Amino acid sequence: MSKKVIVIGSGPGGYPAALRLKELGADVSIVEAWDFGGTCLNRGCIPSKAFLDTGHRVHAFEGLRRLLKDGSGANFTPDMLDWGKVKARRADVIAKLRGSLEKLFQAKKIEIIRGRARFTGPGEVTITGPEAELKKTFDAAIIAAGTRPSFPPPFRDFHEELTDSDRVFDLPALPKSILIVGGGVIGLEFACFFNALGTQVSVLEILPDIMSGEDPQVTRAVRSSFEKRGVKFYLGKKAAKIDPSGPLKCVELEDGTRLEAEEILVGAGRAADLTGMGLEALGLTWDRKGVKADAHMRTAVPNIYAVGDVNGISLLAHSASRQGEIAAENIMGADKVFDGDIVPRCVYAWPEVGSVGLNKAQAEAKGLAVKTARAFHLGIGRAVAADETEGFVQLVFSAADDTVLGAQIVGGPATELVHVLALAVKLKLKRADLKELIYAHPTMAEAIHEALHK
């Protein structure tokens, strides 16, 4: 008899879990309270990349002007852009991908239930849909409900007057100025996009630097690139007062500095909200980081699993997908664990950033003796030919035996190249192993080859 499994949430944690469960012979249903595909597809990873692609095209046009005949080129100005078409293109991308995903589930004969799930016991959920309530029993359940934008104080008192990473896609017009709260991945990607389209951009970050936890060489390179393009950073600064009432919204910092902009985008992370899911009926507790799960994705209740942002282990879509697959396989009798050391960390701005494993400071904090090697794109033929010389590849090795412990890439197709080095970290390859690869010429990947010989 096949196991009956309920998956709550159809985002990048939930839908791979459901697909894997089906492959393994489970009787699986997936519950979604909103649009199929979750945050990633509908208001996160995918729509933001559609926006960033628009910004990158504008950025590339500025570079092309140098090759035009005198007098034939024109600078891009914001009034040339049809904001409605930018939003429509984003909506079209989402619709195509969501439609493909729903068709895949139909083809696999996986039941999709629309509504909100509430646990009424360790083996039962009640799903409140648009028209009726439905009770479902299960042998195991996977919570993949995701998170929502977080509004830290004092911004949380002005939630409706400000925008966030969910609602920014629906701004009625391209703002002339925007203040972005948060210097992490969310904030930097939107800063890059709006800056490319001619918006005056400022970034407010309470921590001393952007991209908390990344290697200082990486953050310095990214910050410098943004500043050259006109983005202003206010680092190590805390907001004291908010006034969103005027034509320009205002944030007053604790030191008295006043920052004004047409729009304020709060991109200071995300938080779990499991209110109404009935976790208390299971004996589970949760906080803003979500519900605790172990490396097998099991919660404190043996037949309840939690994957993706909702468990707070690794707030990345691709982490959620792997966790969903692990939960599915463990429900069906496997003994898999999630390895956070091989999760690529990506920033899709320009310059792109891709990193994996440990940086120098993190390795040394673990008591490891390390050495690093770096190669700059300025010396790479493909980079020079493509005018993509910004950035570098940095490798981190064990000083004891030359094992690859981590890598950081800035510039070029960093988010694509990082997978080569993620595999090296997973397999515990040594510098000599990577040297034996043949790197096609001319490619940006040759920067890895160059770094290996430093």
- Tens digits of residue pLDDT in 331-369: 999 999 999 999 999 999 999 999 999 999 999 999 999
315: amino acid identity, one letter: L
- C-alpha–C-alpha distance, residues 18 and 102, integer Å: 12
Annotate 186-204 with DSSP letters as a single string.
Answer: HHHHHHHHHHHTT-EEEEE
How many Å apart are CA 119 and CA 129, to the nearest integer? 15
pLDDT tens readout for residues 364-399? 999 999 999 999 999 999 999 999 999 999 999 999
> What single string gives the DSSP state of each residue in 162-177?
SEETTTGGG-SS--SE
E strand segments, 254-386: 258-261, 263-266, 270-271, 304-306, 345-347, 353-357, 370-376
* 3-state DSSP assignment of residue 22: helix
Which string of b and e fits 158-179 if b means at least 16 CB within 10 Å? beeebbbbeebbebeebbebbb
How far out from the chain centre does Cα 149 lie?
A: 13
User: Is 159 or 122 the better-scoring residue by pLDDT?
Assistant: 159
Give the chain's mean pLDDT: 95
User: Residue 60: what pLDDT?
Assistant: 84
Q: Is the pLDDT of residue 1 over 70?
A: no
Return the pLDDT at 61.
81
Residue 164 CA to residue 188 CA, distance in Å, equals 13
Q: Hey, what are 126's tokens?
A: 């009640």
Domains and CATH numbers, the chain: 4-45+86-147+272-338 (3.50.50.60), 155-268 (3.50.50.60), 342-452 (3.30.390.30)
Q: Residue 100 corresponds to which amino acid?
A: S
Give the β-pairing of 148-149 and 270-271: antiparallel
Residue 74: the pLDDT is 62
Q: Which residue has the tokens 């709550």?
A: 8
Reported as type and span, the H/E element at residue 222 is helix 216-228
The average pLDDT across 212-221 equals 96
The C-alpha atoms of residue 199 and residue 177 are separated, in whole angstroms, by 5
**77: exposed, middle or buried (C-beta count within 10 Å: 0-12, 13-18, 19+)?**
exposed
Give the tokens for residue 184: 């992490």
Tokens of 137: 């029993």
Query: Is 59 in the active site?
Result: no
The fraction of the chain above a pLDDT of 70, given in percent, is 98
pLDDT, tens only, 197-210 = 999 999 999 999 99
Q: For residue 106, is pLDDT > 70?
A: yes
Mean pLDDT of 108-112: 96
The residue ranking higher by pLDDT, 29 or 273, is 29
What is the pLDDT, as a whole number, of residue 71?
Answer: 61
What average pLDDT does range 419-429 have in this prediction? 97
pLDDT for 132 equals: 76
Q: How far is CA 210 from CA 231, 268, 347, 397, in A?
A: 13, 11, 12, 25
Q: Which of 376, 377, 375, 433 is nearest to 404 (CA)?
A: 433
pLDDT of residue 75: 67
What integer is the mean pLDDT of 239-264?
A: 96
d(CA 341, CA 426): 8
CA–CA distance, 353 with 198 (Å, rounded to integer): 23
DSSP secondary structure letters along 59-113:
HHHHHHGGGSPTTS-----GGGS-HHHHHHHHHHHHHHHHHHHHHHHHHHT-EEE
pLDDT tens for 41-98 read 999 999 999 999 999 998 888 777 778 777 666 666 777 889 999 999 999 999 999 9
Residue 306 pLDDT exceeds 70: yes
Q: Rounded to whole angstroms, what are the CA distances from 430 to 89, 183, 225, 423, 433?
A: 45, 34, 32, 12, 5
The active-site residue out of 56, 377, 441, 453 is: 441
Measured distance CA(387)–CA(108) in Å, rounded: 46
Percent of the chain with pLDDT over 90: 91
